[in-house]
């Protein structure tokens, strides 16, 4: 039943996303004169990425359909990036400094007291710097939408128009974040099948979550009102900053905070390393960092205990959803894989002659066969959305885009259950996990 439930959500979300990509959002905004006053503040934290990655992102912002005199771009660099990052900052200023209302390059100092190295602390520092400009120009915070983007995030042409429309039509825009659907298409043709499947699976999960807004939490690249960004304060002392900003806001506003699904995509990178072995290692590290979001469980539960204004029902609901999500992430695929044959090996003679021993392998086989519905649905949706194959690549690459889905059972365990268990065991043992920045190399192929 759960396979049908999730697959139906995925199909509905996919159809809506396809519809939204074809929608003329500029036309829809004509009924909202206030849209002309909305500024888009985009913060792009970077570590040691190369110029090609930064240029692609900035180029997508430059080419998007939104008044450039209403866009403020912040390239948030790390001091640890050294001369290479400084050179990229200079190139960015040279090529894009005059393309927007404001274009700033900030440099986040190393080892500031009370901070955890990573995207969150860089975002928080960049926010403090850009606020000086906002206050100097006397731009009202209610007229600014802040987008916290990973440096590899490329926007589709009408993203900010769609975002503005949802902001102006939201029931309570000042108490809402806005979540696009991440599609990992930037380098999909240059990535191996294993990591493509992991990336696509993540996109499909986010599609399903869009259909469940009561459970939706901010993830990776997302947007929020400036009043929330500056008022609540972007978290600078955690690794999982993208989800923490939601829960921090949820607690601050006594449960009166939600995430609005945009059903509109942004494009990001599939994990790729300098070698196949390095790619596998990088993918595992990235999944472990994401799975470290389990640290939100104690944060939320203790936050709920302290906050008496949030209704008890909502506390129980969100706690159970979070616990079930991280439990399923770590255990579900392992249970399905092992329960079919492990009891036969360890159950002894008495178990092996029982009716259960006869039916158990058939039952798990039926579950796996039934799960093929979800895999086939995902494969078809993925084929509909991948960008055209670069001309210099063999047509066999198209075939691999279909055959890759037979790797799904392995990726669910190797890049799903194992890193999730790794992160959760670390949390139980009180061990710390530092922020790890996913490398983003580039290979150039002409189309």
Confidence tier at 5 by pLDDT (50, 70, 90):
low
Task: Give the pLDDT score at 351.
Answer: 57
Residue at 130 is within a domain: yes
Task: Give the pLDDT score at 332.
Answer: 86
**Could you report the per-residue pLDDT of 127-157, keeping only the tens digit for each?**
999 999 999 999 999 999 999 999 999 999 9
Task: Give the pLDDT score at 359.
Answer: 64
Task: Give the pLDDT score at 288.
Answer: 96
Residue at 266 is within a domain: yes
**Could you report the per-residue pLDDT of 396-419, keeping only the tens digit for each?**
888 888 889 889 889 999 999 999
**Could you report the per-residue pLDDT of 278-301, keeping only the tens digit for each?**
999 999 999 999 999 999 999 999
Task: Give the pLDDT score at 71.
Answer: 98
- Domain hosting residue 71, numbered range: 21-190+213-274
Top-confidence residue, 55 or 337: 55
Q: Is the pLDDT of residue 180 over 70?
A: yes
Mean of all residue pLDDT scores within the chain:
90
Top-confidence residue, 289 or 343: 289
**Could you report the per-residue pLDDT of 215-246, keeping only the tens digit for each?**
999 999 999 999 999 999 999 889 889 999 99
The percentage of residues in the chain with a pLDDT greater than 90, rounded to a whole number, is 70
Residue at 340 is within a domain: no
Residue at 121 is within a domain: yes
Task: Give the pLDDT score at 344.
Answer: 56
**Could you report the per-residue pLDDT of 250-282, keeping only the tens digit for each?**
999 999 999 999 999 999 999 999 899 999 999
Q: Is the pLDDT of residue 381 over 90?
A: no
Residue at 380 is within a domain: no
Output the domain CATH number for residue 180.
3.90.550.10
Number of structural domains found in the chain = 1
Q: What is the rounded average pLDDT of the residues 349-364?
A: 63
Confidence tier at 347 by pLDDT (50, 70, 90):
low
Residue at 128 is within a domain: yes
HEC sequence for the chain: CHHHHHHHHHHHHHHHHHHHHHCCHHHHHHHCHHHHHCEEEEEEECCCCCHHHHHHHHHHHHHCCCCHHHEEEEEEEEHHHHHHHHHHHHHHHHHHCCCCCEEEEEEECCCCCCCCCCHHHHHHHHHHHHHHHHHHHCCCHHHEEEEECCCCCEECCCHHHHHHHHHHHCCCHHHEEEEEEEECCCCHHHCCHHHHHHHHHHHHHHHHHHCCCCCCCCCCCEEEEHHHHHHHHCCCCCCCHHHHHHHHHHHHCCCCCEEEEEEEEEECCCCCCCCHHHHHHHHHHHHHHHHHHHHHHHHHHHHHHHCCCCCHHHHHHHHHHHHHHHHHHHHHHHHHHHCCCHHHHHCHHHHHCCHHHHHHHHHHHHHHHHHHHHHHHHHHHHHHHCCCCCCCCCCHHHHHHHHHHHHHHHHHHHHHHHHHHHHHHHHHCCCCCCCCCCCCCCCCCCC
Residue at 248 is within a domain: yes
Task: Give the pLDDT score at 446.
Answer: 42
Residue at 241 is within a domain: yes
Task: Give the pLDDT score at 352.
Answer: 59
The percentage of residues in the chain with a pLDDT greater than 70, rounded to a whole number, is 89
Q: What is the rounded average pLDDT of the residues 176-186?
A: 96
**Could you report the per-residue pLDDT of 95-131, keeping only the tens digit for each?**
999 999 999 999 999 888 888 888 999 999 999 999 9
């Amino acid at each position: 039943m759960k396979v049908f439930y999730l697959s139906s959500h995925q199909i509905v979300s996919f159809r809506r996303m396809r519809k939204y990509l074809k929608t003329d959002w500029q036309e829809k905004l004509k009924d909202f004169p206030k849209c002309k006053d909305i500024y888009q503040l985009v913060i792009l934290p970077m570590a040691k990425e190369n110029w090609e990655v930064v240029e692609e992102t900035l180029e997508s912002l430059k080419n998007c359909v939104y008044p450039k005199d209403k866009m403020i771009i912040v390239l948030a660099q790390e001091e640890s990036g050294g001369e290479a990052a400084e050179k990229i900052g200079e190139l960015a200023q040279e090529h894009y400094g005059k393309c927007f209302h404001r274009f700033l390059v900030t440099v986040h100092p190393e080892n500031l007291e009370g901070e955890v190295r990573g995207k969150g602390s860089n975002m928080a520092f960049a926010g403090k710097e850009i606020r000086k400009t906002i206050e100097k120009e006397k731009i009202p915070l209610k007229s600014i939408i802040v987008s916290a983007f990973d440096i590899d995030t490329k926007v589709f042409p009408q993203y900010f128009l769609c975002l503005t429309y949802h902001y102006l039509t939201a029931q309570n825009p000042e108490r809402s974040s806005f979540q696009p659907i991440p599609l990992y298409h930037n380098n999909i043709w240059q990535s191996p099948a294993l990591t493509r499947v992991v990336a696509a699976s993540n996109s499909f999960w986010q599609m399903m979550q869009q259909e469940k807004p009561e459970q939706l939490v901010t993830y990776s690249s997302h947007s929020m009102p400036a009043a929330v960004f500056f008022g609540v304060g972007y978290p600078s002392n955690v690794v999982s900053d993208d989800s923490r900003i939601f829960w921090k806001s949820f607690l601050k506003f006594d449960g009166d905070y939600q995430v609005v699904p945009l059903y509109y995509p942004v494009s990001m990178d599939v994990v790729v390393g300098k070698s196949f072995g390095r790619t596998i290692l990088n993918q595992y590290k990235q999944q472990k960092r994401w799975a470290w979001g389990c640290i939100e469980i104690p944060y939320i539960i203790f936050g709920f205990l302290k906050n008496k204004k949030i209704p008890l029902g909502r506390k129980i609901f969100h706690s159970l959803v979070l616990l079930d999500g991280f439990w399923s992430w770590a255990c579900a695929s392992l249970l399905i894989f092992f329960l079919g044959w492990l009891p036969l090996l360890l159950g002894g003679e008495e178990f092996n002659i029982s009716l259960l021993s006869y039916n158990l392998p058939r039952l798990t086989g039926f579950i796996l066969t039934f799960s093929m519905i979800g895999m086939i649905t995902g494969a078809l949706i993925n084929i509909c959305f991948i960008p055209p194959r670069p001309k210099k690549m063999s047509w066999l690459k198209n075939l691999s885009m279909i055959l890759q889905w037979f790797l799904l059972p392995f990726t669910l365990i190797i890049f799903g259950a194992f890193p999730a268990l790794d992160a959760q065991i670390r949390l139980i043992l009180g061990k710390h996990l530092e922020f790890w920045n996913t490398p983003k190399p580039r290979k150039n192929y002409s189309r």
